[in-house]
A = this chain, B = another copy of it.
């Protein structure tokens, strides 16, 4: 059995690896993301390694074994399914769900997960646009790029966000930037790289480079 804590570590390793294209994750990175000290991480890595959930060479960072990856994907599946539930069924905003899903993701019942998935209509993406792995851990793929890298005047669709802090998501809400919105970059400032964009052919707004970097889009 994997504990609540072990599951959080595996998930953190998975996410960090993902952002680094498979490169090994460092102790300090994990300490930061799990809100603990490096010493605690070292100790946990030793234990996860004994359980063969990670590949770990002292001082050389860590990656997941197949089994570790499989567990991480199951947690991520549950996290994202519960997020869909919270938004679609209970009417939560996308900025309010992360902490609750952090707890729900550890509920240990295969049949519950599969029934929930069905109840929700087998969604492929969560409310932040993140892909929901299937029972076997396969992620639906979706080609997307940062809004900040879009070609001017191209028709775009907003598919996701790469940050999910509440303040960021609330900021997007204020600007009416929701998943599915049709976007078009009208202009990029030469001074601060802020973007002037059109939303749903209706109005236009200005957004900072930082915001544009965290918005994921595809060509329409």
Chain A positions within 8 Å of B, measured between CB atoms, are 86, 89-92, 96, 99-100, 103-104, 106-109, 111-112, 115-116, 119
Contact = CB atoms under 8 A, between A and B. Distances in A.
Contact of A107 (B100, B109, B119): B100
B100 A109 contact: yes
Contacts of A103: 106-109
Contact of A115 (B92, B112, B116): B92
A89 to B, nearest CB: 6
Contacts of A86: 112
A45 to B, nearest CB: 25
A100 to B, nearest CB: 5
A91 B100 CA distance: 23
Contact of A112 (B100, B107, B112): B100
19 contacts: A86-B112, A89-B119, A90-B112, A90-B115, A90-B116, A90-B119, A91-B115, A92-B115, A96-B111, A99-B109, A100-B107, A100-B109, A100-B112, A103-B106, A103-B107, A103-B108, A103-B109, A104-B104, A104-B107
Contacts of A100: 107, 109, 112
A41 to B, nearest CB: 23
Oligomer: number of copies: 2
Given A90-B116, A96-B111, A103-B106, 9 more contacts: A90-B112, A90-B115, A90-B119, A91-B115, A92-B115, A100-B107, A100-B109, A100-B112, A103-B107
A106 B103 CA distance: 9
Contacts of A108: 103
Nearest to A106: B103
Nearest to A115: B90
A108 to B, nearest CB: 7
Contacts of A91: 115
A119 B103 CA distance: 20
Contacts of A109: 99-100, 103
